[in-house]
Structure 1
């Protein structure tokens, strides 16, 4: 697909075509399946980039800057040389950026920071007098993981539980005590508690943090479809393939 078509796609999506140009383009889409397929792909590119990178603001700034440059260049050109409209430069440049970033996105591996969003801890019930447990809960929920590690270590002696161990493992992973975190997750994963699938998922994150992609996929395939956050499992597995 040549660049002129990409520019046309971009103009159409930005509503820059005149009514006759818009009708002609839509007629072409109905009669040319290859063009229509390419246009659908291009729309998906725009959607994904707007979702992830918010390109609209950058696009407007780029167009304004390049329009100014093209005007300056036009003044210096011999009048016999045909110059392109300012928008052509900016559209071509923005399309290049769109396609370049999309290419990077398509070829980049997922990263730990895309997935390390955790449910808040809710250990402390009404009437619970454990100040240490409350401190661990609050530190974790406020992402103060170094503090949470210390509090959880105290809690594990005072009031041990599988749930506390799971959150302790997460805090260890967040402060890069990875092998200690693994030693927490593995027994939970192999056990029979209601936290076993969550332990498997966090073990996946641990492997992802170390860029051990094959290990990630292996563990992901062991998580059952009834896991409450199975959509994340499917998404990560898809992005790793």
Structure 2
């Protein structure tokens, strides 16, 4: 690795690289283990810093426990309770200890800086649906206009019902598949995405991408990897996103 590579890693994580630069960087990650390891270390450091930023909230919670179970504010700001302030009555001390341990365990579980993200977390991060425009491509303007409005407002249940009533096109099929995925009609969504992926429309690569996202929701990581691997390098945007997601998979 060279000194400039560390700056490149920062720009990659900040999202300030141009699309062509991100593609070139993703290709290097696949062939340069040292660069990939440095990226993982930097990502781990970011998660650690995020964890550090939550420590004040943990201290506040521990302070509340101190007041409730030890009769004072002895646990605030990380101070150990003095012996004079501890008033265990029966099982009260053990309840306090268990409560404190539960808070610590919960914080470590949620904010563990080295824990990989779950499928649901990755889905929430990567499943960003761009607004659609359906009325330009069909004579079914009233129904499609209503479906378009519902989709762009995030009302996927209504959009799904409307799209089921209009003639199919690759664009409306793509929108319907997203609606099916967002309304837990997973099998139908995958079938529609697979059909798009097998076709030759402009939504072919999006079919692979969203098929992978559908498997993230159910933690089908191997199926997600297989779908992402189908996205060609020629599609700079989706290929780069696919490489990022592949590295993030557990």
TM-score in terms of structure 1 length? 0.61
Structure 2 residue runs of 5 or longer lacking an equivalent are: 1-41, 67-71, 86-102
Give the distance between the partners of 2:135 and 2:230, measured in 1 at CA. Answer: 32
Q: How many residues of Structure 1 are paired with residues of Structure 2 in the alignment?
A: 180
* Superimposed CA distance per residue, residues 138-181 of structure 1 (whole angstroms, 9 cap, x where no aligned partner): 111112111111111122x2xx3211111111111222222222
The structure with more radius of gyration: 1
Please provide the CA RMSD for this pair: 3.6
1:161 aligns with 2:169: yes
Q: Map 1:28-107; keep pairs closer than 5 Å.
A: 43-49=45-51, 55=54, 58-59=57-58, 61-62=60-61, 65=64, 68-70=73-75, 73-74=81-82, 76=84, 101-103=110-112, 106-107=115-116
Point out the more displaced range, 196-205 or 65-74.
65-74
* Superimposed CA distance per residue, residues 80-134 of structure 1 (whole angstroms, 9 cap, x where no aligned partner): xxxxxxxxxxxxxx99887654547614433233332211112234xx8711111
SS at match of 1:229: helix
Of structures 1 and 2, the one scoring higher in RCO (CA 8 A, sep 6+) is: 2
- Tell me how far 1:69 sits from its aligned partner: 1.8
> In the alignment, is the contact (CA less than 8 A) between 2:212 and 2:227 conserved in 1?
yes
Alignment equivalent of 2:193, drawn from 171, 179, 185 = 185
